[in-house]
Amino acid sequence: MRTQLDVLVRTALARGAAVPAFTCYDFTTALAVVEAAEHIGAGVILLVAPKTAASPVGLRLIRALRGLADAAAVPVSIQLDHASDITAILAGVAAGADAVLVDGSALTYEENIQLVRAARDAIGDPGIVLEAELGGLAGDEDRAFALNASGLTDPGQVADFVARSGAQLLAVAIGNVHGRYAGEPRIRWDVLADITSRTKVPVVLHGASGLAAQDLAQAPASGVGKVNFNTELRTGVLSMLQMQILAHREDGENLLGILDLWRETVRAFTTASLETLSGRANH
């Protein structure tokens, strides 16, 4: 069942869990994510990358994801990820996105606020949930370079930013990065605690791939209600394909067999993420 993203996240937080969000470049991945969520009995978020949403084919994918969410037995939200172009945002929403990460993190503080407000004014529909990003997350969500964390979110800006931008969720920089981590990730829980003490909107953790399971399990209790996954999911599928394509040539290039393994890989990763963020992995 399609569900408003902030409702999904707040409901999870109320029971001590966070909602995982998975970048879906294709329908096969989205199907497997929803299948795993239905098996576990928990909600999920399907993320659409900005480069995907910028094309007519990507807009068709969003429409297909909307149908998948409507038919799901668990709550599902569709979010346009890391969007900064108002025209592209409007097209994604028209195609069926329930929420948008309006990403002005590369702009100045005031320009970031203005972009989020401009997106809200342009969309018009209060039912479309807006996430914003405050702080500098290193990396590109569609690539997997090894990176060090860059600028942290300034907790002193949080209350003013949320109030003036109207953001309903806030993505923060607390030692996380997009892509792979160079060395061991060091999450600044002290900075996160300061941030959550200054706002009531759910906090979002991007760049979850590569974080230790104990860090992810701790996140909901620290006020994180949504956790984004991309790199680890994507590289897991690619590794499986590299191993299996040659093997399947021997049985007539069995594409259905490869697609089954694709879904199995995604289902396993989704299940593990759901269990970790709900605390079930510890029981």
Catalytic positions: 81
Establish whether 179 is an annotated binding residue: yes
Q: Is 22 assigned a ligand-binding role in the annotation?
A: no
Closest CA to 228 of 39, 38, 47: 47
Binding site annotation covers 223? Answer: no
Q: Is 207 annotated as a binding residue?
A: yes
C-alpha span between 118 and 165 (Å, rounded): 9
197 annotated to a ligand binding site: no
43 assigned ligand-binding residue = no
Residue 160 assigned ligand-binding role: no
Give the span between the Cα atoms of 89 and 50, in whole angstroms: 9
39 is in an annotated binding site: no
Q: Are the beta carbons of 115 and 102 closer than 8 angstroms?
A: yes
231 assigned to a ligand binding site: yes
Q: Annotation-wise, does 206 bind a ligand?
A: yes
Would the annotation count 209 as a binding residue? yes
**Whole-angstrom distance, CA of residue 140 vs CA of residue 283:** 35
Q: Say how far apart CA 74 and CA 25 lie, in whole Å.
A: 21
| 206 neighbors 178 (Cβ within 8 angstroms) | yes
- List the binding residues for Zn(2+): 82, 103, 133, 178, 206
- List the binding residues: 82, 103, 133, 178-179, 206-209, 228-231
- List the binding residues for dihydroxyacetone phosphate: 179, 207-209, 228-231
